[in-house]
Structure 1
Amino acid sequence: MKLTLIGAGPGDPDLITLKGIKALQKARVVLYDSLAHPSLLDYCPEDCVKILVGKRFGKTSCGQDEINDLIVEKARQYGEVVRLKGGDSFIFGRGYEEILFAAEHGIESEVIPGISSSYAVPALAGIPLTSRGVSESFWVITGTTKQHELSKDVRLAAQSTATVVILMGLHKLQEIVAIYSELGKTDESISIIQNGTLEEQKVVTGKIGNIVPLSQVSEMASPAIIVIGKVAALPDLSYDKVRGMMQNSQSVTAD
């Protein structure tokens, strides 16, 4: 019996790995999360059993215990089971918990890493997590711990000069702002990226001191990633932005 854990990547279905695609093409049963792009299931054989197990803030089709039980049940029934998870299974994806549970029931596991949204989403929004002379390191922190609280590491990270990336933290935005404000960092740059890497991606950038009203006016919603630090204020030089600037420049020249 075997469990294959596949990281589906940050959202855009083109960002899954080739190895992940090959595993889906052979799958007999797939347990997939809400954050895995639905078109990825098209790689599966026609007779593959596909089961949505949810996992999105505020919306859970299955609890983790139920998912664990399904892994064992389907592995025993089909001899193998594929678990398709958003981002990378080992970065706030509870992937290790699932392979541990599988191992306790005599099921071997294979892990196929995925591109994590923690760095891919900022990158495709034109935000580098590190940049020479601007940021030398970065933190990646969960916005919601097992106790449904904001991680205490946010306060530690806020005291550093590093870029801080917070996943699953939009509903804790006011708490995050309060921590930075207490440290006198109301002028620190911050970006919120909603639906990163997808066509409906939306980005709002401001300062700690004004990001709450900006996010409300922009109607930002989950899934979203928060990036805090000087890099959030760098000019967006992503392909679409540069192409737009070039087109505008050519229009002005023509006039």
Structure 2
Amino acid sequence: DDWQNFALLVRRLVTLHGKDERRTWSYSPAYLEKAACGFVGLTVGVSPNIGFLKHTDLETDKGILVNEHLQTNLPNVYAIGDCAELRQVPAGRRSIEAIWYTGRMMGETAAYNLVAEDNRHSSFVIRHSYSPGIWFNSAKFFDIEYQVYGDIQTQLPDNQATAYWEHSDGKKSIRINFERESGNVLGFNLMGVRYRHEVCEKWIREKAHIETVLQNLGLANFDPEFSKQYEAELVAIYNRQTNKNLTLKQKRGLSAALEFLK
């Protein structure tokens, strides 16, 4: 059944045309796009593999349903990671998040609450709620590092604007999304450039203005010591687009970043 469902999903998403590899086309009815391809690779992403729990008393939907303490409907049973589905979804998050960072944070929460369960006969028991905070993720695509902090959507909403720089080699880019009206920074997306999670998160949490962030952007950079910095190029692009005259006031440096995070 699982393979039949997979085949049905593939048929819905992609249709291949052509008699040989040199004339292969992919077509997606959902997006009404047609593109010539020399090679078509399909992945289905990550979905909870919970079929073995079908005949148990655990309540499930797409994943194993848990409350804010990561408890299931059964006493003393917890679920975490990419098989856990939150009943109450925190703002800006998803009910199932298949990344190892959330699994780690869930593990910390569940461990604390399991200890609380062991002390449940005491008169005062405090349980922790799972609170992942501002979205973040990082990965590596072959030799290109990728980072995202905050709200970066595939299609830029009408109420948002973006500051974007891309290297001529196509392997490095910096994107900062912000509210169009207020200028408050909403998210960062980096390719091939390393930015400090704590610095970006503080800017987002404190609703820093895009121009304040741009002028101090070096605080976030933690590329190797002698590598080139590109923050000034992004500031120059922003100046051209807005007729401003901002300058980069802060370059890369650990001591300055630590001082900022105090």
Into which bin does the TM-score normalised by the smaller protein fall? under 0.3
Higher relative contact order (CA 8 A, sep 6+): 1
User: Which has more radius of gyration?
Assistant: 2
TM-score w.r.t. the length of structure 2 is 0.27
Whose helix fraction is larger, Structure 1's or Structure 2's?
A: 1
